[in-house]
Structure 1
Amino acid sequence: MEADWKIEAERLATLEDYRLLDTPREPVFDAIVRQAAAGADAPIAMISLIDDRRQWFKAALGVDHREDPIDESICAHAIRGDALFEVPDASADARFAHFPAVARQGGIRFYAGVPLTMKNGARLGTLCVIDTERRDGLDAEERELLERLARRTVAAFELARDMHRDETLPADPAMADERVWLDQALSLMARASSALDRVEASAALAHLEQAIVTVEARRATL
């Protein structure tokens, strides 16, 4: 249908705009998948990005490859909605049971993925955890952690895009030194502080102001 085609075209255009595909691994995203796997007690976790033919992993733990065809991607189903997408047992799910990664011995059973939704509403991929054992689902604490880590992933993507657009900064965000990142952090926290002040969120504002002091002190030592 034309509306669906238009939404998908806009999603793919957004993915291209963020310039994330086929980029080197970065410590910030590697740390996120480690936390996701540990928090959900899962052997596999990944940040996947979905284009028109594949899912590509910006970061992954527990797998030894960087991409899969889109027609073998559970994540491609997960990005169709806004909420956490769970599959208790992929081998018993007609949508996925025939996927090679599911059908093989010791293959995917449990899947939980949170769509990575950008500012314009485009869902570029997921942060997901996978188990080779069936599960009923994530508990409330595991769900909250995965959703929080997904928000961190999106924030890191947004920051990387902003740096690409800033001609005063290195073309490759990985080449920016610590001072550049601290300056970015201070700028963003100042904006957040102003927003919190407008709604009189005094407790959150106090925590943020302490964080600003800490970052400023570190910046001063460089």
Structure 2
Amino acid sequence: MGRIKRVISILNMSIFFSSLLIHISCSVTAEKNCVTGCLIEDRTEEVILANGYLSFCQAFQMPGGFYWDLCPGQSELNIAGFDWEWGYKYKLLVNSKKYRFDDAPEDLGTIREMRSIVHIAEKLPVEPNLNFKTNLFWNAEIQYTYSGFLQGLQRIKNNNSDFYFGEKLFVCREPVTCENLSQTITRLQDGKNDDICEFTFDFSFQKTPDLPLLLNDFQTTDCSSP
């Protein structure tokens, strides 16, 4: 009888260790699967884009200092199935999925988010003649470099006498304003007028969002100003 009990005990231990090995094997397999991405979060949230326009913001850092871009930028607007348009305020329902990648390069990070549009709950045009201002500046003390300042200024583009702020066409309320702006930007890009530390742009929408923006005025601030 004692011999039979010992045999049963050995069999039970064998079953236990076999189960343990299977569990460990499954855990290792699951971890390995995270090389190609493991879903760690899946949620749906409301996203509000209230402005209807872009403005200058310090968006990323490169060797030599901080550089300027336009915000909301690609990270905020990168929603699959959604095309943002100038001049509209949005309320969106967005699905967000986060994945963990164990072998991801350091510069990409181990967690990545993928967002997709579920529903556009609201799309409203901004108020007619809505005014907004945006500033672009450089300051060595906080590492906004002059090269980054010029890189940001490239967001104001002059293409065959057509001016763009980002991808949005704009015209000047007074023709002389565009002439002065073009001359100022050209001199800066040629290494002249480098005593300018800041631009302030004053824009307005017209009656409907599809019309070009109006540049009412722009001002520059000299580096020597207090």
* TM-score, scaled to structure 1: 0.21
Larger radius of gyration: 2
- Between structures 1 and 2, the one with greater strand share: 2
* TM-score, scaled to structure 2: 0.21
